[in-house]
Amino acid sequence: MSLETVSTTRSHGGTQGVYTHRSAQTGTDMTFSVFVPDHAEGAKLPVLWYLSGLTCTHANVTEKGEFREACARHGIIFVAPDTSPRGEDVPDEDTYDFGKGAGFYVDATQEPWKANFRMRSYIESELPALIGEAFPADMARQAITGHSMGGHGALTIGLRNPERFRSISAFSPIVSPLACPWGEKALTGYIGADRTDWREYDACALIADGARAPHLLVDQGTADGFLEEQLKTQLLDEACEAAGMPATIRMQEGYDHSYYFISTFLGEHVAWHAAHLSA
């Protein structure tokens, strides 16, 4: 797979790069960022994936996440993909919560979305193969995190692939697309009206259906304006309790949905993942 370097920058004893490649899954050029800490020649480093939220690209967390010092200290590669396919030929809607910037980490089955909106396969198979080939990545040691729509992605991808991801965390995740307006709009449009087909894209439903994660951490701000209508963190707490699945779900007093919140705790999440990646 050909990889083009857009930029590289020295930071925190490592290299922050931005890269692009032609994706077979989305049929488009895809851009992502990778931070690689300095390391001994021939060493392989564990990988932490970060999935971004609605309207975002790789750039949001790369520029505002404040993760590099922690990743350098713990020797972790940090990979930040885009949220959806992009390009003039890619279908879109004039709305922030559907279409470009709102891929929801699903493989669409409905027209006109199914040709390009294949973010599940892109994140689960195509991009990991490229990362393992092009970077000093130990693909036997992976973890995943994300924010909002990306928190939904991290939870569902992690729960569907427990053999791949040693730990899962999330910031302000959409925990149940089956039970919120964002999810209902996106999954109806991408997957169709049969709600049974949505369950593999709903963290609470996956847990109810038997999926398990060995280590799960969620941070949610109490001042988040999306908490009650869209995020509904309590549903994940209830699903984990009903399934007897241990999880650390923390309500952070006074924090909102922004990167001020994420950047406050992202270094802590990196350290938490590092403990499980080194075990």
Closest-CA residue to 202 (of 183, 177, 185, 180): 177
For the question of residue 224 being annotated catalytic, the response is yes
Amino acid found at 175 = V
What's the CA gap between 162 and 247, in Å, rounded? 15
Measured CA angle at 183 (ends 177, 189), to 5 deg: 130
Q: Which of 219, 224, 269, 273 is catalytic?
A: 224
Q: Which of 257, 269, 273, 276 is catalytic?
A: 257
Residue 89 has phi, psi (to 5 degrees) of -90, 0
CA dihedral 94, 156, 208, 212 (to 10 degrees): -170
Q: Which of 148, 167, 169, 172 is catalytic?
A: 148
| All residues at 6 or more sequence positions from 112 whose CB lies less than 8 Å from its CB, including other chains | 91
CB 116 within 8 A of CB 211: no
Residue 246 has phi, psi (to 5 degrees) of -60, 140
Which residues does the annotation mark as catalytic?
Answer: 148, 224, 257
